[in-house]
Chains A and B, each alone.
Chain A
């Protein structure tokens, strides 16, 4: 079945450091890919998405490119801030394999130190 694998955390960075959180997926169809962010004690917020190969999603300085050849959707940010501290989830939506339901990775906790 469909699945998402993302790098295990926690990830601890200093402010202004470069961030990469790896995400790879397996899917039977042509999925849409998402990154969600969860701040402490809250629900999930959509950070960015890409619906087809080679699309780049971007928001708040974060970017991710849908790479079909490597089945990847890595999240990057050039300069992180303390306020970026949160848990980040990679997810896919695949009408071919999972009836359009979201399949999540296990999440990566990011801590940014001043």
Chain B
């Protein structure tokens, strides 16, 4: 089975940096994804890690440690529009369909 944990909610200040952690336990691993979801809207892709290390993409970076079953999403220079839910997802092995299993999401509130 798969178990993915992330904090339920976080609050940060506009212009600051915030780190959202995700830990996972899976029977197979084929990559870790981060999505952003505004209330009532579709999740949109932010980043992907399959090897250990840091992937940087503008104001967003994501880190993966496969041995620790741990990832984080780092958001820099926070803007009000970054207030959203951030979803960590693990892709299972292709012989099981390669499905994406999501954590419960972290609701981030950015305050002025």
Answer yes or no: do A and B interact: no
Binding site for A on B (CB under 8 A): none
